[in-house]
């Protein structure tokens, strides 16, 4: 907070300084990676002149901060503006990077076809630049989008290509995410054993690199898989393993609470499920995550219907 206060003062004293705004961009990136929270510098960044050298980089990191705390709508708006600025400057590598991040946000917002278009455009730029790691990262994002759009064969092909490229280049984070994508794809195809194998491969890498978000989503996926199989003990074990990775991330806390409510509902512990689901809706409402809020409210209605049926 002291660093942020100083930066707030410096940007007030000298609002056009390139150096100060470069420091701001690095500070926001640090928060995104280590302690996600919003910053008072946001309004100042948005008001920077479009031709300021640091504006697109500051907007990019600010957007990721909004995405990390769960405000995906604001994240997308900032990314869209960032993309426009990079296009105007003909910064091809930055355009492709922003497109890749944007397609991931579109996936989280349920805008799969728009995300697929962004991913394919980014992939073409990375091929033009002969950027293999960029291609691998984008193919991994494309795989997720195709998976959500029910194009499972195309999704599997994209994920396999991403995995091969990332293994060849030693890109361990992309390798981890590609294994996780393949786990989800095989789960959707009904190939449960292959799905678990790929999730476990992803978890091994994520644990070795201390990637908390990745570990959370792998455990989250395994909870869903085991709930679908009716293996409640295994599902509960992965819920407990997911919880430590929600530290400093309120959005992930809401997601794991909602998942725990589903688990309790399957155990017919409806009052407990309702109480925890209500806590999750409060989190989503405070964060302004409307899509997750709506889904959790629908789930609450289902619980209440079950409770009313049990009374009658």
**Beta carbons of 36 and 15 less than 8 angstroms apart:** no
Instruction: Looking at the structure, tell me whether residues 134 and 201 fall in a common domain.
Output: yes
Note down pLDDT in tens along the chain; length 312 residues. 465 554 555 455 455 555 565 666 665 555 555 555 455 566 677 777 788 888 888 888 888 878 876 778 888 999 999 999 999 999 999 999 999 999 999 998 889 999 999 999 999 999 999 999 999 999 999 999 999 999 999 999 999 999 999 999 999 999 999 999 999 999 999 999 999 999 999 999 999 999 999 999 999 999 999 999 999 999 999 999 999 999 878 889 999 999 999 999 999 999 999 999 999 999 988 877 788 899 999 999 999 999 988 776
What pLDDT sits at residue 35? 54
Query: For residues 251, 257, 259 and 260, what is the CA-based torsion angle, rounded to 10 degrees?
Result: 160
Q: Which residue in this structure is represented by tokens 């990077």?
A: 97
pLDDT, tens only, 158-189: 999 999 999 999 999 999 999 999 999 999 99
**Beta carbons of 129 and 96 less than 8 angstroms apart:** yes
The reported pTM is 0.81
Tokens standing for residue 245: 């990775």
Domain boundary among 209, 224, 253: 209
Q: Can you tell me the distance from the alpha carbon of 95 to that of 88, in angstroms, rounded to the nearest whole number?
A: 10
Tell me, yes or no, whether 68 lies in a domain.
no
What pLDDT sits at residue 158? 98
pLDDT, tens only, 103-149: 999 998 889 999 999 999 999 999 999 999 999 999 999 999 999 99
**Beta carbons of 82 and 56 less than 8 angstroms apart:** yes
Tell me, yes or no, whether 85 lies in a domain.
no
Query: For residues 72, 64, 276 and 260, what is the CA-based torsion angle, rounded to 10 degrees?
Result: 110
Instruction: Looking at the structure, tell me whether residues 244 and 305 fall in a common domain.
Output: yes
Q: Can you tell me the distance from the alpha carbon of 66 to that of 282, in angstroms, rounded to the nearest whole number?
A: 18
Q: Can you tell me the distance from the alpha carbon of 78 to that of 73, in angstroms, rounded to the nearest whole number?
A: 9
Tell me, yes or no, whether 27 lies in a domain.
no
Tell me, yes or no, whether 233 lies in a domain.
no
| Dihedral pair phi/psi, residue 278, rounded to 5° | -65, -40
What pLDDT sits at residue 74? 85
Instruction: Looking at the structure, tell me whether residues 203 and 256 fall in a common domain.
Output: no
Instruction: Looking at the structure, tell me whether residues 189 and 265 fall in a common domain.
Output: no
Instruction: Looking at the structure, tell me whether residues 170 and 129 fall in a common domain.
Output: yes
Instruction: Looking at the structure, tell me whether residues 246 and 306 fall in a common domain.
Output: yes
Eight-state DSSP code of residue 130: T
Q: Can you tell me the distance from the alpha carbon of 14 to that of 104, in angstroms, rounded to the nearest whole number?
A: 35
What pLDDT sits at residue 300? 95
Q: Can you tell me the distance from the alpha carbon of 261 to that of 143, in angstroms, rounded to the nearest whole number?
A: 29
Measure Cα distances from 295 to 212, 230, 249, 285, 299 in Å. Answer: 25, 22, 20, 12, 6
What pLDDT sits at residue 103? 93
Instruction: Looking at the structure, tell me whether residues 198 and 141 fall in a common domain.
Output: yes
What pLDDT sits at residue 1? 47
Tokens standing for residue 207: 């644990």
What pLDDT sits at residue 15? 55
Instruction: Looking at the structure, tell me whether residues 193 and 248 fall in a common domain.
Output: no
Instruction: Looking at the structure, tell me whether residues 122 and 205 fall in a common domain.
Output: yes
Instruction: Looking at the structure, tell me whether residues 252 and 196 fall in a common domain.
Output: no
Question: What domain range is 169 assigned to?
Answer: 116-147+154-209
Tell me, yes or no, whether 74 lies in a domain.
no
Instruction: Looking at the structure, tell me whether residues 130 and 192 fall in a common domain.
Output: yes
Q: Which residue in this structure is represented by tokens 């500070």?
A: 27
**Beta carbons of 245 and 212 less than 8 angstroms apart:** yes
What pLDDT sits at residue 10? 45
What pLDDT sits at residue 250? 87
Eight-state DSSP code of residue 35: S
Helices 192-209 and 172-188, packing angle to 10 deg: 160
**Mean of pLDDT over the chain:** 88
Tell me, yes or no, whether 45 lies in a domain.
no
Looking at the 3D structure of the chain, how many domains does it have?
2
Domain boundary among 168, 194, 209: 209
Q: Which residue in this structure is represented by tokens 């950027």?
A: 131
Tell me, yes or no, whether 162 lies in a domain.
yes
What pLDDT sits at residue 141? 95
Tell me, yes or no, whether 263 lies in a domain.
yes
Instruction: Looking at the structure, tell me whether residues 186 and 135 fall in a common domain.
Output: yes
């Amino acid at each position: 907070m002291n660093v942020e206060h100083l930066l707030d003062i410096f940007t007030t004293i000298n609002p056009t300084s390139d150096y100060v705004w470069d420091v701001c961009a690095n500070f926001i990136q640090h928060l995104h990676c280590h302690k996600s929270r919003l910053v008072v510098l946001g309004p100042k960044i948005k008001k920077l002149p479009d031709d300021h050298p640091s504006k697109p980089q500051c907007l990019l990191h600010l957007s990721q901060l909004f995405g990390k705390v769960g405000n995906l709508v604001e994240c997308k708006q900032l990314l869209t503006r960032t993309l426009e600025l990079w296009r105007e400057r003909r910064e091809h590598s930055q355009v492709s990077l922003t497109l890749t991040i944007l397609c991931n946000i579109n996936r989280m917002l349920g805008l799969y076809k728009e995300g697929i278009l962004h991913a394919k455009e980014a992939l073409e730029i990375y091929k033009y630049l002969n950027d293999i790691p960029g291609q691998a990262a984008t193919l991994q994002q494309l795989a997720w989008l195709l998976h959500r759009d029910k194009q499972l064969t195309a999704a599997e092909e994209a994920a396999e290509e991403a995995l091969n490229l990332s293994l060849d280049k030693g890109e361990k984070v992309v390798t981890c995410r590609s294994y996780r994508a393949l786990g989800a794809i095989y789960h959707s195809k009904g190939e449960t054993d292959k799905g678990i194998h790929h999730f476990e491969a992803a978890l091994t890498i994520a644990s070795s690199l201390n990637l908390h978000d990745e570990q959370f989503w792998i455990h989250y996926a395994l909870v869903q898989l085991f709930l679908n199989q009716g293996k409640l003990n295994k599902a509960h074990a992965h819920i407990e393993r997911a919880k430590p990775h929600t530290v400093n991330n309120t959005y992930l806390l809401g997601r794991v609470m909602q998942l725990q409510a589903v688990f309790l509902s399957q155990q017919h512990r409806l009052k407990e499920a309702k109480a925890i689901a209500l806590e999750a809706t409060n989190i989503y409402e405070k964060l302004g995550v409307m899509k997750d809020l709506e889904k959790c409210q629908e789930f609450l209605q289902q619980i209440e219907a079950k409770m009313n049926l049990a009374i009658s």
